[in-house]
Each structure stands twice: as structure tokens, then as C-alpha cells.
Amino acid sequence: MYISYRNLQFPVLDLGLFNRHMYSLINFDLSANPLKGFNLLGDHAHIFLIFLAPLYYLWPDPRLLLVVQVFAVTLSIFPIYYIAQHYLESKVSGILWSLSYLLFFGFWAALAYSFHDAPVAVLPISWALYHLLVSKKIRWLVLWLAILCLIREDMPLVVAMFGLYLAVIDRNWKTGLAVIIGSLAYMSLIMKYLLGSLGHGYSYTQNPFGNGMVDVARASFTQPIAVFKELFLSPRNKTKTLLYMLGSFGGLSLLAPQVLLLMAPLWAGRTLTLQYWRWSTIMHYSASQAPFLAVSAIVGLATVVSLLSYFNFFSAKLRKLMIVSISVGVVITSLVVSFLTNNIQFMRVLVPSAYSLTATQKSVYEASGLIPKLASVGVQAPFVNLTSRQAVYNIPLPDGIYPDYVVLVDSIDIWPFRSSAELIRYKDTLKSDNGYIEIFNKDEVFLLKKSK
């Protein structure tokens, strides 16, 4: 991730957007985020970011978010290891399953995307699974589920599934019902009073069956075949994505459906929508399902091995050999799927050219250094490093907004322009019609300053 950030491969949307949101938090500012037009707390309830504000105050930099994301994924490996060690009765198997989990293509798709809540969510999810299945410590389970609710406004649905597991599988009806009721009540309050109160509410109406979750629930009874198709078959890329996810763990997840079904709200949220990018294989949305896929595969393998042992199909020694062999096979399948989906970002550390900057990249940093820290600025996609300020705007500039500086680059990532000619026309218009002068022009990087 450091290489990608340094090489300007993380765009203003979303890394710069979240970074500007953190800038608002440390300044107790609930006004609209200038990069999006509204406060992000009115888009998604990323309440966990509030608890990162003290760290951001000490280091107000986009890289803090990248570090937090990497730490979340890294720390989530430990409960996966403990779960594998518990069920498969082997430290070696614990290490192998931790490795296959780390190689999951969804993580590398997410880390290539810069910053998102999906990979952060795996930390509370994985620890919640550990306390649900292994430690059985309800207080710790509830704590991690409460943290999960703070990640995003739809995570309480996942928490409710944990409550359902407690009630139905563990027969702990009292705690299970309390978790279900508490999580759904929290979600209702967040959806009703937080989203929208800050100027915008994320749209959950873009589904094939109507204007909300009630319509989806109704369709599940009146049009079950249509709902099934939307979940898994239409379009085919949904099937492809699901098969890759299951295939990463050797398909063993299907052997423990009681655990796999805990991720049902996440999968439904991805597929029962008209937003096609949500079910894309290479997008970051697969990351949050990783703990469910890995743990269900571990439990499934342990269940089958225990059943075979019960009927004396093999000795204890052969049983251990079988578990280790299958675990090695899962590591291989996880690696193969990562290559098949072209999510092999970890291979970049072996490429020497990744550690050097091009002339254009050097000029981007040179031009950025000419902009005062408190100055207002209009930025293109690659200029995430300039978003730790009060007034920062996407190009093209909003109507009536003329910041102190505008910085453009005719390569790397020219979004939102479709061509170099379009970018040059926009630059010339700023100079001729809006009183900007060009103070930097080097290696296709342009810095314009508003004349007084």
C-alpha cells in the first residue's frame, strides 16, 4: 500500500475523501465535505472513524488510514489462527489457514483500492467469530459485535445473524434475542436519525424489487425464484464472484452452512442492488466476507474429519496427515484464485521499478510543495496528499468556487477528464475566463494560481 500511495495510484475518491473527513473530525466540523457535497456521516455511519480522530490529530495524513486498514487485516489473522488450531488440533494447520486467509483475493482487491470500511470490518468480525465458536465468552463477543456496529450502518444486520446463531445453534435464547433486538434497534435509530440529518442519506432504494428492504422481503415470498436469481445468477458475474470466494478456501465453507450463513446480509447487500460494481470480483467488497469463508471452511473440515474418525476410517496419525495435507491444498487454491483474479498486489514488492518515481510523479510532488498548507485548492484524482485542508475541491470545480490554486496532471490518472485535449481546454478556460495564471508546467503537471 505504501508503494501504491507513493506512486500516486490511490485517488482522491475514496482515500482523499476519507482523509478530508478525518480533517473535519479533528476540527469538530460537521459541515459538508467539499469533495462530496455533504458530511460522510450522512452517507454511511462510519462512527469508528471518530475514535481514530486523536491519532489523526497527531498525524494528519492519508497514510494513517492506510496503516489502520493494514493493522485491521493483520490483527484479524490471530483469531483465524486460534480457531484453526482449536478445531484442527494443530499449530501447523493454524499457520496454514492463517496463510490462506491472508492470501484471499478480496484483501488484495481492497488494499489495491486504498481505504474502505470492508477490510476494517474483518477485525471485529474475526474476533466475534472466535468468541462465538471457541472461547464462548459472551461479554467479549458482545463487545466485538458492538464495535462491528460502529463500522457501517448495515453491519447490525450481520450482528443480528450472530444473535440468531446464539439463539438457534447454541440455544442461548436470552442473549441471542437481546443481540438481535439491540442491533436492529441501533440500525433503525442510525438510519432514521443520523443518515439524512447531515444533508444526505445513502440510498438503499436501488434494488430490483422496489424502494427498500421491505420490498425485498416481500419479494422473497412472492417472487422467490426471481430473488434467487438476483442473489446468485443474474448477471453471471455474481456467480463468478461467489465461486471465486468459495474456491479460495477449497469449497470447504459449504460444509459448515451454519457459519457461512452469518455473512448472508453482506452478500445480499452486494447483490440485491442495481449498483453493478458491488458484485464485481475485483472490487473491495469481498474483503468483509473473508472471516466467514475461512472459519466456515475450518469448521467444515473439522466436522468431516471428526465424522470419518468416528467411523474409524483412519488412525489418529493419518488423520493429522490428512488435515495438514488439505490445509496445504487450501493455501494453494487461495493463491491460485488470487492469480486468476489478478489480485497479486503483494508481488509488487519484488519489482525494482516500483520503488522509483517517474519524472511526472516527481513533478506532482514538486508542484504540491508550492501550495501553502492553508490555501484552498482544486485537485484531480492523484492529489490525495493535498486533502488535509479545509478547502479542497474536485475538478471540475463546483459552480462559483475559485480556489487559490488548481493543480492538474495530464497522465497517471486524468479523471475526470476523458482525454488530454479535454484537460488542456479546461486549463486554458481557467486562465482565460477565471483569472488564473500558470506558475508551474513540467512533465505534464500544471499548477495554476488565482490572480488577485
Tell whether 199 and 239 lie within a shared domain: yes
Q: Is residue 148 one of the residues assigned to a domain?
A: yes
Q: Is residue 352 one of the residues assigned to a domain?
A: no
Q: Is residue 183 one of the residues assigned to a domain?
A: yes
Q: Is residue 130 one of the residues assigned to a domain?
A: yes
How many angstroms separate the CA atoms of 176 and 163, rounded? 4
With cell 504540491, the residue in question is 368
Q: Is residue 353 one of the residues assigned to a domain?
A: no
* Single residue among 344, 379, 411 that ends a domain in this structure: 344
Tell whether 294 and 420 lie within a shared domain: no
Q: How many CA atoms lie within 13 A of 205 on its CB side?
A: 4
| Cα of 405 vs its chain's centroid, Å | 32
Give the number of domains in the chain.
2
Instruction: Report strand pairing: 392-394 vs 377-379.
Output: parallel
Within 341-413, residue ranges assigned H as helices are 359-368
- pLDDT tens, the chain, 452 aa long: 777 888 888 888 889 999 999 999 999 988 888 998 888 887 788 899 999 999 999 999 999 999 999 999 999 999 999 999 999 998 999 999 999 999 999 998 888 788 888 899 999 999 999 999 999 999 999 999 999 999 998 899 999 999 999 999 999 999 999 999 999 999 988 888 887 676 555 555 567 887 777 777 788 888 889 888 989 988 889 999 999 999 999 999 999 999 999 999 999 989 988 888 888 888 889 999 999 999 999 999 999 988 887 767 667 788 888 999 999 999 999 999 988 887 766 666 667 777 788 999 999 999 999 999 999 999 999 999 999 999 999 999 998 999 999 999 998 888 889 999 999 999 999 999 889 999 999 999 999 999 87
DSSP conformation class of 234: S
Tell whether 270 and 380 lie within a shared domain: no
Tell whether 130 and 166 lie within a shared domain: yes
Tell whether 123 and 67 lie within a shared domain: yes
Cβ count near 83 (within 10 Å): 26
Tell whether 69 and 153 lie within a shared domain: yes
| Cα of 353 vs its chain's centroid, Å | 28
Do 408 and 442 touch, CB atoms closer than 8 A? no
Tell whether 330 and 383 lie within a shared domain: no
Tell whether 377 and 339 lie within a shared domain: no
Q: Is residue 350 one of the residues assigned to a domain?
A: no
* Single residue among 298, 319, 344 that ends a domain in this structure: 344
Quick one: pLDDT at residue 390?
94
How many angstroms separate the CA atoms of 282 and 341, rounded? 7
Q: Is residue 392 one of the residues assigned to a domain?
A: yes
Domain span including residue 375: 359-450
**Residue ranges of E strands in 261-410:** 377-379, 392-394, 405-409
How many angstroms separate the CA atoms of 401 and 442, rounded? 26
Tell whether 76 and 202 lie within a shared domain: yes
* Single residue among 276, 310, 344 that ends a domain in this structure: 344
Quick one: pLDDT at residue 201?
52
Tell whether 213 and 245 lie within a shared domain: yes
pTM > 0.85: yes or no: yes
Tell whether 169 and 258 lie within a shared domain: yes
Phi first, then psi: give them for residue 77, nearest 5 degrees.
Answer: -70, -35
DSSP 264-298: HHHHHHHHSSS-GGGG-TTSGGGGGGHHHHHHHHH
Q: Is residue 211 one of the residues assigned to a domain?
A: yes
Tell whether 236 and 365 lie within a shared domain: no
Amino acid residing at 435: G
